[in-house]
Amino acid sequence: MTRLRFHLTFPEERVKEPIIYEISQKFGVVTNIRRADVSDRSGWVELELEGELPEIERTVVHLRNRGIHVDPIEKTILEG
């Protein structure tokens, strides 16, 4: 299993959608919110994703396709 952390920035039109729940259901990843700040107009989340690397990569592509800005927090892969 691989664990990677990402900083997600949500645009106003996506803030109220259950996107983190959706990715935990749609992809073979475990989500862990490490930090977050969300308001009615914007939001950001530091999200840890755990799973197989191809599934994490598919999850990131999906998030970006939904208009969410995704930046890696750690450049190294944590394997456990």
Question: What is the reported pTM?
Answer: 0.86
pLDDT at 75: 58
Q: Which tops the pLDDT comparison, 80 or 68?
A: 68
Run of H or E residues at 24: helix 19-26
C-alpha to C-alpha distances, 39 to 5, 6, 11, 67, nearest whole angstrom: 22, 19, 11, 17
18-73 confidence digits (pLDDT tens): 999 999 999 999 999 999 999 988 899 999 999 999 999 999 999 999 999 999 99
pLDDT at 40: 86
10 pLDDT higher than 80: yes
Secondary-structure class of domain 2-79 per CATH: alpha beta
